């Protein structure tokens, strides 16, 4: 999607993808990854998700990258944290002891010269149209150390029933996208949102599932 699309979504408060609650799959599956508490965790296209607070509470150093300045401002306003601000390469940095947010284009994040032990993606891959997903996965791979773990949450529904984000990215599509750079360790049990998703309840979608993946960055790209 073009940058203007997301700026307009935040400016008009059309952010139905935002959840106040910490994602249940994150809480269920992250502890099983057995990461050291001080791991550097990347959250791409982070919005203002409260999942970052939960990750910081596990003892991690959390780095979010987000295009919208409104999302970053809202995150810190809601959390009552007072960040230091600095221009860092192509980014406006918002820095606190345990959570750093970099406001700008994710596809320039390699200019930060930071590599990560892990990544958490609940809303990045599914925010991007098919034409941008290969570029996204390649950039994610550049930012992660060999052996780094990714917890990825995708959604799956009948693609012809919805044309915009969050996009449906099936298990087969995720496997094909990540295979050159990552080893797929596990696909966790699918969570069906049939009974609670408003667009299923209204009849707009026949089904809406969350699929959780555990992937590990390969030593060498294929």
Token pair 């406001």 in the structure block, residue? 103
- Is the CB of residue 98 less than 8 Å from the CB of residue 47? no
CA 32 centroid distance within chain = 19
With vertex at residue 8, the alpha carbon angle to CA 161 and CA 99, rounded to the nearest 5 degrees, is 100
CA-CA distance, 6 to 69, in Å (whole number)?
Answer: 11
Beta strands in the chain (DSSP E): 40-44, 61-66, 84-88, 91-95, 99-103, 116-121, 144-156, 182-192, 209-217
219 is in an annotated binding site: no
Task: Flag whether 10 is marked binding.
Answer: yes
40, exposed or middle or buried, with CB in 10 Å at 0-12, 13-18, 19+? buried
Tokens linked to 93: 């940095």
Q: Which residues contribute to the annotated binding site?
A: 10, 45, 66, 122
Annotated binding site for S-adenosyl-L-methionine: which residue ranges? 10, 45, 66, 122
């Amino acid at each position: 999607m073009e940058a203007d699309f997301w700026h307009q979504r935040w400016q008009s408060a059309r952010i139905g993808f935002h959840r106040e609650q910490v994602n249940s799959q994150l809480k269920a599956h992250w502890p099983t990854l057995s990461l050291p508490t001080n791991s550097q965790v990347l959250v791409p296209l982070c919005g203002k998700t409260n999942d970052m607070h939960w990750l910081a509470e596990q003892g991690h150093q959390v780095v979010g990258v987000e295009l919208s300045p409104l999302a970053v401002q809202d995150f810190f306003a809601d959390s009552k944290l007072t960040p230091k601000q600095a221009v860092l390469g192509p980014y406006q940095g918002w820095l606190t002891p345990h959570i750093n947010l970099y406001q700008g284009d994710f596809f320039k994040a390699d200019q930060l010269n930071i590599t990560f032990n892990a990544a958490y993606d609940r809303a990045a891959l599914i925010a991007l149209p098919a034409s941008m997903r290969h570029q996204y996965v390649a950039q994610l791979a550049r930012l992660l150390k060999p052996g780094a773990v990714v917890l990825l949450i995708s959604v799956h529904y009948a693609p012809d029933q919805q044309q915009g984000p969050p996009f449906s990215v099936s298990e087969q599509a995720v496997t094909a996208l990540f295979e050159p750079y990552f080893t797929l360790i596990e696909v966790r049990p699918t969570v069906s949102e049939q009974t609670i998703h408003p667009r299923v309840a209204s009849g707009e979608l026949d089904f809406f599932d969350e699929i959780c993946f555990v992937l590990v960055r390969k030593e060498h790209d294929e």
